[in-house]
């Protein structure tokens, strides 16, 4: 009877663990940021982000755009401000109800609604102006939240920035993304 109970408990525990939201660790030159992703609400976005993570494509990039009181952006540029090749753009999932609140991670994009590829940003403030409003004001897809390391985001948001190679708000001292990995 105990063996049956143990098997049932372990089976239940395994299925509960399998349903937990994935967590990623962004190791930066300023510290580590731990992020919980929401595939239940943004499956396309999370799958896309994890494809970059699992293939090590964020490793060695930088946070290339930093605006204190707004956001920190990375995932698109190397230290020399050259871009790297990305996968195809994805559908924008900004209409899921997740808000661009302080500490959420969202996909960066161009003026084209479905143009997000690899670049992401972490909201340094509540940015509800970036949320979905309507098909004509689509917004930016939030797909997770910082669960540890918001002090690292705050530190990055406080660095000195300037212009570099035609880009604005670039940290004067590069903020490296050393690695991005799934938490085991």
Each of the 184 residues of the chain gets a pLDDT tens digit; together they read 454 444 444 444 444 445 699 999 999 999 999 999 999 999 999 999 999 999 999 999 999 999 999 999 999 999 999 998 999 999 999 999 999 999 999 999 999 999 999 999 999 999 999 999 998 899 999 999 999 999 999 999 999 999 999 999 999 999 999 999 999 8
Torsion sign, CA atoms 36, 40, 46, 47: positive
pLDDT at 38: 99
Q: Is the residue at 109 inside a domain?
A: yes
Q: Is the residue at 8 inside a domain?
A: no
CA distance 105 to 102: 9
Q: Is the residue at 10 inside a domain?
A: no
* SS3 label, residue 47: helix
pLDDT at 93: 98
What's the structural domain count of the chain? 1
Asked if 19 and 143 touch (Cβ cutoff 8 Å), the reply is no
Q: Is the residue at 14 inside a domain?
A: no
Task: Give the DSSP H/E element, type plus range, for residue 59.
Answer: none
Q: Is the residue at 11 inside a domain?
A: no
Longest CA–CA span in the chain (Å) reads 70
CATH number of the CATH domain containing 170: 2.40.100.10
CB neighbour class for 38 (10 Å; exposed up to 12, middle 13-18, buried from 19):
buried
Q: Is the residue at 101 inside a domain?
A: yes
Burial 136-157 (b: 16+ CB within 10 A, else e): eebbbbbbbbbeebbebbeebb
Contacts of 140 (CB under 8 A, 6+ apart): 92, 94, 100, 106, 107, 108, 109, 121, 130, 131
Domain span including residue 174: 21-182
CA distance 165 to 18: 45
Q: Is the residue at 161 inside a domain?
A: yes
CA distance 7 to 4: 5
Q: Is the residue at 95 inside a domain?
A: yes
Q: Is the pTM of this model over 0.95?
A: no
């Amino acid at each position: 009877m105990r063996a049956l109970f143990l098997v049932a408990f372990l089976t239940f525990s395994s299925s509960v663990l399998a349903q937990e939201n994935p967590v990623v660790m962004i190791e930066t030159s300023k510290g580590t940021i731990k992020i919980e992703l929401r595939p239940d609400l943004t499956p396309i976005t999370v799958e896309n982000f994890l494809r970059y993570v699992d293939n090590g494509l964020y490793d060695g990039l930088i946070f290339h755009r930093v605006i204190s009181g707004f956001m920190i952006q990375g995932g698109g540029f190397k230290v020399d401000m050259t871009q790297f090749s990305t996968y195809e753009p994805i559908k924008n999932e900004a209409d899921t109800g997740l808000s661009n609140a302080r500490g959420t991670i969202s996909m960066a994009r161009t003026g084209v609604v479905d143009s997000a590829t690899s670049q992401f940003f972490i909201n340094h403030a509540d940015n509800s102006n970036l949320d979905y409003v309507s098909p004509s004001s689509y917004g930016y897809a939030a797909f997770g939240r910082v669960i540890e390391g918001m002090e690292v985001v705050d530190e990055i948001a406080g660095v000195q920035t300037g212009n570099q190679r035609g880009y604005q708000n670039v940290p004067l001292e590069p903020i490296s993304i050393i690695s991005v990995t799934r938490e085991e």
